[in-house]
Amino acid sequence: MTPDEVTLSEGDQATFNITTDRPVDLHLHGYDLTEEVSPGEPAELSFEANITGRFEIEEEQSHTELGTLLVEPR
């Protein structure tokens, strides 16, 4: 994941643009959001960053951590 850490402020609207070279089930912990992404088919994951804290972004099937989302209080 590039960058491997994303920092937002509470209340920000976020959109992750996702591309991959293999099938991936992306999971954003804390927000309990998932997105299935296929190779060569860009996907988007949009949400309001309304929960503060540090959250793991992982590949759901292998439980591999891809990056971190940090949401700071406003």
- For the segment 4-24, the average pLDDT, to the nearest whole number, is 96
pLDDT, residue 21, reads 93
- For the segment 1-18, the average pLDDT, to the nearest whole number, is 96
Q: What is the 3-state secondary structure (H, E, C) of 14-71?
A: EEEEECCCCCEEEEECCCCEEEEEECCECEEEEEECCCCEEEEEEECCCCEEEEEEEE
pLDDT, residue 3, reads 93
pLDDT digits (tens, 9 = 90+) for 15-71: 999 999 999 999 999 999 999 999 999 999 999 999 999 999 999 999 999 999 999
pLDDT, residue 32, reads 96
Q: Check which CATH number belongs to the domain holding 13 and give it.
A: 2.60.40.420
What is the count of structural domains for the chain? 1
Segments forming the whole domain that contains residue 51: 5-72
